[in-house]
Amino acid sequence: MEIIMKKLMFGFRLFCRAGFLLFTAVFLAAAGCNVSEPKEEEERAPRSITLMTWNVHNLFDGKDNGFEYDEFLESAGWSAEKYHGRVNAVSAAIETIRPLPDVIIFQEIESLTILEDVALSISGDYLWSHFASNPGAALGVGILSRLPLAEARAHSITIGGDTTPRPVLEARIEAEESAFVVFACHWKSKLGGDDVTEEVRKASARVILRRIRELLADEPELGVIVAGDLNENYDEFYRQNAEVITALLPDDPYCARLTGCIGVNGEENASSQRDFIVLGKNAPPAPVHFPKDSIVLFSPWLRDLENGSYFYKYDWETIDHFLISRQFFDNALWEYEGTRIANDQPFTNASGIPVSYNARTGNGLSDHLPLLLTLKLLE
């Protein structure tokens, strides 16, 4: 495992590479920033924060390091010129979003360099970034932020000899006089079959649940957001015929009993929630059918969003997520305002379908659409 810190013209960068350890490998580092004094207009408190999560689809830099997919090798015609063209296209697309996102959570990027190049291409003063990937992995996850990122941890998970392809990147975001934590995720895909890969996604959920409990034990009012491509629909449990305990579960009585959280005589056992996140549609999210000490996160797919963010085999899927804790619904400081999908051009074609990037032609952006989450600051 290695940590590389760089001081650039726009601040310090933390580069995280998570190592392979049984269940969880964690490291902690703090990133600071030395910049000039802000102008008077920049000192005004922001009234809202916009977060964006986007699987940008195989965004490789312009150098061969031996782990790229075949079409992104120099021998296949990939080049620094094509890379910079793609960075410009990605940055231009982000620039069309209003308000401009304050925090961007990327999936499927190759390196810290990409975050830096995107930051320089957007007129948004993105001064902080974190990146994490597993050694030898082609792609990782990253966070680009206009708000201070006080610290970061990368969690690499191994279960039954199978390591998650990408770590979970945890970052603390400083906003006003408060802070909240974001878990940037790209969980295991379904390649290989649901019956095999579900256990790996549940391992990722287990680490997040453990960290949420640890964080709330020290700071009960700390807000938590799980963001990214979880490769799991919000209704995955029903899509699998309600026969398999999935990493994301609905708050219904059948699931509560199936998981052992509610016993045959109605007794509560919150400790049975070990490797699945319960999704709620109420605001604030609170357990209805699960024990009162269960962790329930609000899913906008249950209330605010329609269709999907990923178009696969002629059908929409809801595998990109913001999962939001109760602290954003307590009428104090940062409050949940809404979530939307960036489902217009340039992110889609004329039919409203996302267009995958084509390395040969240089056309397209991504096969995923960005999700946008807005938090408002209460007076």
In the chain, where the domains are located: 2-30+44-377
| The pLDDT of residue 110 | 96
| Amino acid letter for position 135 | P
Name the region of 62 (left: φ>0; alpha: ψ -120 to 50; beta: rest).
Answer: alpha
**SS3 of the chain: helix, strand, coil, percent, to 5:** 20, 35, 45
Which SS3 state, helix, strand or coil, does residue 184 take?
A: strand
Please name the amino acid found at residue 165: P
Alpha carbon distance 30, 100 (integer Å): 26
Residue 165 neighbours by CB under 8 Å, 6+ apart: 134, 137, 186, 188, 189
Average pLDDT per consecutive 10 residues, the chain (379 residues; last block may be shorter) = 32 36 35 33 65 97 88 91 96 96 98 96 92 93 96 85 84 92 96 86 95 97 97 96 96 96 94 96 96 97 96 95 97 94 96 94 96 93
Domain 2-30+44-377 in CATH 3.20.20.70:
no
What whole-number distance in Å separates Cα of residue 117 and Cα of residue 115?
6
In whole angstroms, give the CA distance from residue 135 to residue 248.
28
Q: From residue 115, how far is each of 10, 105, 118 by CA, in Å?
A: 12, 10, 5
Rounded Cα distance, 33 and 37, in Å = 12
DSSP letter at 74? G
DSSP output for 2-38 = EEEEEEETTEEEEEEE----SS-EEEEEE-----PPP
Residue 31's pLDDT is what?
33
Residue 46: what pLDDT?
A: 57
347, 303 Cβ separation under 8 angstroms: no
Neighbours of 193 (CB within 10 A): 8
